[in-house]
Amino acid sequence: MLENLIAQPADKILALMAAFKADPRDTKVDLGVGVYKDATGNTPVMRAVKEAERRIVADQTTKAYTGLAGDPAFGAAMRDLVLGDSVAAERVAAVATPGGTGAIRQALELIKMASPDATVWLSNPTWPNHPSIIRYLGMNMAEYRYFDSATRGVDFAGLIEDLGQIKSGDVVLIHGCCHNPTGANLRAEQIAEIITLMQTKGAIPFIDIAYQGFGDGLQEDAQITRQIASAFDNCLIAASCSKNFGIYRERTGILMGIAKDADQQKLTQQTLQFLNRQNYSFPPDHGARVVTTILNDPALRKDWEAELEETRNGMLVLRQQLADELRRLTNSDRFDFLAHHRGMFSLLGTSPDKVEKLRADHGIYMVGDSRMNIAGLNADTVPILAKAIVAAGI
C-alpha cells in the first residue's frame, strides 16, 4: 500500500525553518516562521499563561472528556474577545479546534457540506495553508487581487474588480487583521465597500483572525471581524490563540459560525460538533483552559493585555527603526511602508533571487515571496538587515 504514496509538496515556511537551523553561521538572522521572538530571540511563555497553568495544575480535579465543542466557557470567552457585542450571542455557534488551522479546516468542511459548488475566494497572496487545504478537500477556489507591489499597500481597485465576479453563495476569505504575508490591511471604509459588494452578490464571509492584538490593539484588531459579522446573516470565523497567547504548541483555536437566528444556530452548532467528532472527537483542552482562565480573571487578563501591548509596541518600534534606517541609507521614502504595515509580517515585495541573495550573502532568512517576520529583528540586527537590503539592490 505505502508504495503508492507520492511525495507531497512541503510547506515552504517550515522548510525554511529547517534550513535556518542547519546554517552554521552565528550571524544568521531568522525572519522566517511566524513566531514572536523577543530581543534575545526567545519565544517566551507569557506571564499570565504561566500563572493560569500553575492554577490549572493545582486545582484541576479531572481530565475526563469535556464535550465535542470543548468547554462552553472557552466558547463564550472567545466570542466576547473576538466579537464583543457586535452579534447576539444566541446567533453564534462555536467549537474549540486544534489551533486556528483546525478551525479553518472545519470551516472549509462545513462549507463543502452546505454548499459543495461554492467557490472560496482567497486574497493573492495569502497564507499558503489556505489554498493547500482547499485543494486537498477538492473545493473550488479563486483569487482576488490584494497586494499592490508598487505601493506595498492594498490594491483596492483590483480587489473590487475581482470580487465583482463572485457568484451567489461563494465564500470570501478575509484576514481579520495583520494580513499574512503582506502586512497591508484594509481600512474600515474599504471593508464597508466590500460588505456592500458581497451583499449585492449574495456572498458569505469567512474570516481568519490569527493575530488579534498584534496590530493596532486588541479591540482595534477585531474591528473588521465585527464590522463584517454584524452585516451578514451568515459568517464563519476561524480564530487562533497561538500568537496572542503565545501558546503555539498547545493547539488552541475556535471556529464560530454566525447563524441567522437561534434555530439556525442550533443546527450549525450540531453540525460543528459532528465535524469535530468525525475528525478527532474532542478538541484539545489545555490551551483553551489557559485562555479561559486568563480572560475570566480580571487581574490575569490585565497582565496578559499589558504583555500583549508590550509585544505589539515592540514590533512597531522595530518597524519604525527599520524604515528610518532605510530612509537614511537610501535617502528616499521607498521603505516607509514598513512602518505602515501591521502585525508580524511585511512583504518586502522583491524577487526570489534577491531573497536568496540575502540568505546566501548575509545569512538573512525570509520566506521566498520576501515575507519577513519583523519580530525576528532586534536593535542590533535592524541596521544589518537595512544594509543587506541596500547591498542586494532591493
* Residues forming the site for ligand PLP (CB under 6 A): 34, 99-101, 127, 175, 180, 208, 210, 240, 242, 248, 253
- DSSP conformational letter for 10: P
Which partner from the list ligand PLP, ligand TYF, none does 13 bind, CB cut-off 5 to 8 Å by kind?
ligand TYF
Which partner from the list ligand TYF, ligand PLP, none does 11 bind, CB cut-off 5 to 8 Å by kind?
ligand TYF
Q: In sequence order, what DSSP letters do the residues of 195-262 get, joined into one string?
A: HHHHHHHT-EEEEEE--TTSSS-TTGGGHHHHHHHTT-S-EEEEEE-TTTTT-GGG--EEEEEE-SSH
- C-alpha 180/C-alpha 125 separation (Å) is 8
Which partner from the list ligand PLP, ligand TYF, none does 99 bind, CB cut-off 5 to 8 Å by kind?
ligand PLP
Marked catalytic residue, from 229, 238, 243, 388: 243
Marked catalytic residue, from 162, 208, 285, 369: 208
Beta bridge partners of 25: none
The CB-nearest residue to ligand TYF is: 34
Residue with Cβ nearer ligand PLP (175 or 341): 175
- C-alpha 121/C-alpha 94 separation (Å) is 23
- C-alpha 209/C-alpha 231 separation (Å) is 17
For the CB of residue 178, give the shortest distance to ligand TYF in the complex, in Å: 11
Marked catalytic residue, from 210, 229, 259, 339: 210
For the CB of residue 32, give the shortest distance to ligand TYF in the complex, in Å: 7
What is each CA distance from 362 to 116, 283, 358, 393, in whole angstroms? 48, 43, 5, 13
Residue with Cβ nearer ligand TYF (75 or 181): 181
For the CB of residue 13, give the shortest distance to ligand TYF in the complex, in Å: 4
Which partner from the list ligand PLP, ligand TYF, none does 253 bind, CB cut-off 5 to 8 Å by kind?
ligand PLP
Residue with Cβ nearer ligand TYF (13 or 78): 13
Which partner from the list ligand TYF, ligand PLP, none does 100 bind, CB cut-off 5 to 8 Å by kind?
ligand PLP
Residue with Cβ nearer ligand TYF (14 or 306): 14
For the CB of residue 130, give the shortest distance to ligand PLP in the complex, in Å: 8
- Residue 341 sits at the vertex; the CA angle it makes with 340 and 342, to the nearest 5 degrees, is 120
Marked catalytic residue, from 69, 121, 127, 239: 127
Which partner from the list ligand TYF, ligand PLP, none does 213 bind, CB cut-off 5 to 8 Å by kind?
none
For the CB of residue 390, give the shortest distance to ligand TYF in the complex, in Å: 26
Residue with Cβ nearer ligand TYF (68 or 177): 177
Q: Is 121 a catalytic residue?
A: no
Dihedral, CA of residue 67, residue 69, residue 72 and residue 75, to nearest 10: 160
Q: Is 127 a catalytic residue?
A: yes
- C-alpha 269/C-alpha 87 separation (Å) is 16
What is each CA distance from 145 to 153, 159, 164, 191, 381, in whole angstroms? 12, 5, 11, 15, 33
Burial class (CB in 10 A: 0-12, 13-18, 19+), 166: buried
Can you tell me whether residue 133 is helix, strand or coil? helix
Residue with Cβ nearer ligand PLP (128 or 383): 128
- DSSP conformational letter for 86: S
The residue ranges that bind ligand TYF (CB under 6 A) are 11, 13-14, 33-34, 127, 129, 180
| 176 torsion bin: left (phi>0), alpha (psi -120 to 50), beta (else) | alpha
- C-alpha 170/C-alpha 202 separation (Å) is 8
Residues noted as catalytic? 127, 208, 210, 243
